[in-house]
Amino acid sequence: MSFIRRRYYIWLIKEYVKRWNKTIISSIIIGVGAFFVAAFIISIYVSPLIGKNVKKIGYVGSYTILSLPYEILSDVSYGLTKINDDGTVAPAASYKWDVRDNGKEYIFFIKRGQYFHDKKELKSDTIELKFKDVEKKNLDEYSISLKLKEPYAPFLSSVSLPIFGKNFTGLGEYKVKKVDINAGFIKSIVLNNKKSRELRKIINFYPTQDALKTAYLLGEIDQAIGIRSLNLEGTNIESFTNTNISKKVNYKELVVLFYNNVDSILSNKKIRQALNYAIPKTFEEGERAYSPIPPHSIYFSKTLNYGFSDVAIARDLIETERDTLSNKTIVISAPFEYEDVASRIASSWKQIGVETEIKTTADLPATFQILIYPIKLPIDPDQYVLWHSSQLSNIARYKNLRIDKLLEDGRLTYDPEQRKSIYADFQKYIIDDIPASFLYFPYEYTIQRK
């Protein structure tokens, strides 16, 4: 019986196809055509619109949640204050503040109507600030007192760090959707716009400059930020017709030539002066620097000895100290990426009769005679940790009582005009004493698909 039924259905299908074969074939053709037309329309018109709403961005470096680049953190939240490009302090979550008790107490008045991403309003009791030796007291719903044990003028810059609630909720335009962490460091982070879910940033982090550029070339990211060179294995990214390139100076970083100030040769100020005067006047890697404070800062001061360079005077100074340098070679230690910079400096020093050897290092060496190394500049002009004689991070082993006193005063004085005067003197004397030569603020490129 089942056999007869199967034959019946087979016959029925054959007759149906025989009768409607033209209609079936034409329907298949139209369906296939419609599919490809729809796919074409989506790829040409719809996908670009979706893609515009999702930014795939790449950075180089290893970061934890709270050490992320400021431009990323500022998308998610902001602090009680903010620091302008010129170093001035401006209101952010607080609309004003008072400094009392000779700089040991700060009263912040909080703007009303600010909400975390979880809809909780920012009030005195929702602000969690973790500073050592700082006592917080809620004065009312929208004002707090922060008391320090000792006056500390950079504190207004310290509270510019973004405020976060539970589960990394912030106050900014974007909220954290997902974080991928490996061995304590962030591999990627996804940020969603709090007003529009379609607006999203997917940010990936790469261990090296080459890895970042390769990720861009492979299409993993559409924008690479912080590129130091446009070359990758013989390929110049400038030749790509579908790429926009923008260039800027990174004033948050300074490449420095540190002298070991307790070295038998470099403890001699005249030799340090001679070496400093003979350094090239330009570097293709960045904007030439002569001061440890960026030129756009309100605390920058162009002193009388700023930018002085003279090979003839450098040669005369070396001649007066020829006995100290007799038959001796100076050694420059430099990470691999600064080897070319070291070579150019060594060539300049050869012109004044100083023989130089270059020693490449993978990281910050424990000991050195001269070292090329980048430093991250603080957002406040305070450079106590870099140059005060009491600090382990004073890698030049520099000791100058006048500089120590200026750095101490700069931390105790919260009046901006008085601080300008203090840091003008700081620059004057440190440029004259030359514990280090300030080389350049590095150029950085952002590459982005058109």
- Residue 240: which pLDDT band, with cuts at 50, 70 and 90? confident
pLDDT at 387 over 60: yes
Q: What is the mean pLDDT of residues 413-440?
A: 96
pLDDT of residue 46: 46
Retrieve residue 54's tokens.
């999702």
pLDDT at 151 over 70: yes
pLDDT at 24 over 70: no
Q: What is the mean pLDDT of residues 271-283?
A: 97
pLDDT of residue 393: 95
pLDDT of residue 47: 45
pLDDT of residue 233: 76
Give whichever of 36-40, 235-239, 411-415 has the largest mean pLDDT.
411-415
The more confidently predicted of residues 23 and 17 is 23
pLDDT of residue 16: 52
- Residue 5: which pLDDT band, with cuts at 50, 70 and 90? low
Q: Count helices and strands (H / E) in the chain.
A: 12, 20
Contacts of 77 (CB under 8 A, 6+ apart): 162, 163, 164, 170, 171, 172
Beta bridge partners of 175: 192
**What is the length of the chain?**
450
- Residue 231: which pLDDT band, with cuts at 50, 70 and 90? confident
- Residue 65: which pLDDT band, with cuts at 50, 70 and 90? confident
3-state secondary structure of 203: strand
pLDDT at 339 over 70: yes
Q: What is the mean pLDDT of residues 280-288?
A: 96
Rounded CA separation 396/386 (Å): 9
pLDDT of residue 300: 97
pLDDT of residue 3: 46
Retrieve residue 218's tokens.
């492979």
Of the listed ranges 109-118, 194-203, 230-239, 419-428, the least confidently predicted one is: 230-239
Rounded CA separation 91/268 (Å): 47
Q: 78-168 has which fold?
A: Dipeptide-binding Protein; domain 1 (3.90.76)
Q: Distances from the Cα of 44 to the Cαs of 37, 48, 49, 176, in angstroms?
A: 11, 7, 9, 30
The DSSP code for 291 is S
CATH 3.10.105.10 domain span(s) along the chain = 253-442
Q: What is the mean pLDDT of residues 10-19?
A: 56
pLDDT of residue 196: 84
Q: What is the mean pLDDT of residues 84-89?
A: 92
3-state secondary structure of 99: strand
Question: To which H or E segment does residue 448 belong?
Answer: strand 436-449
pLDDT of residue 132: 86
CATH 3.90.76.10 domain span(s) along the chain = 78-168
pLDDT of residue 420: 96
Rounded CA separation 384/394 (Å): 9
Question: To which H or E segment does residue 393 belong?
Answer: none
pLDDT at 44 over 90: no
Q: What is the mean pLDDT of residues 252-268?
A: 97
Q: pTM to 2 decimals?
A: 0.84
Query: 184: phi > 0 → left, psi -120 to 50 → alpha, else beta; which?
Result: left
Rounded CA separation 213/245 (Å): 13
CATH number of the 253-442 domain = 3.10.105.10
Whole-number mean pLDDT of the chain? Answer: 89
Rounded CA separation 252/374 (Å): 10
pLDDT at 262 over 90: yes
Instruction: Give residue-wise pLDDT tens across range 285-327.
Output: 999 999 999 999 999 999 888 998 999 999 999 999 988 888 8
Q: Distances from the Cα of 154 to the Cαs of 48, 158, 165, 263, 383, in angstroms?
A: 46, 6, 24, 33, 10
Q: Distances from the Cα of 357 to the Cαs of 129, 273, 279, 373, in angstroms?
A: 48, 19, 16, 16
Q: Which residue has the tokens 């996804």?
A: 190
- Residue 66: which pLDDT band, with cuts at 50, 70 and 90? confident
Amino acid at 11: W
pLDDT at 179 over 80: yes
Q: What is the mean pLDDT of residues 235-241?
A: 83
pLDDT of residue 355: 95
pLDDT of residue 29: 64
Contacts of 233 (CB under 8 A, 6+ apart): 210
Torsional sign, CA 385, 390, 396, 398: positive
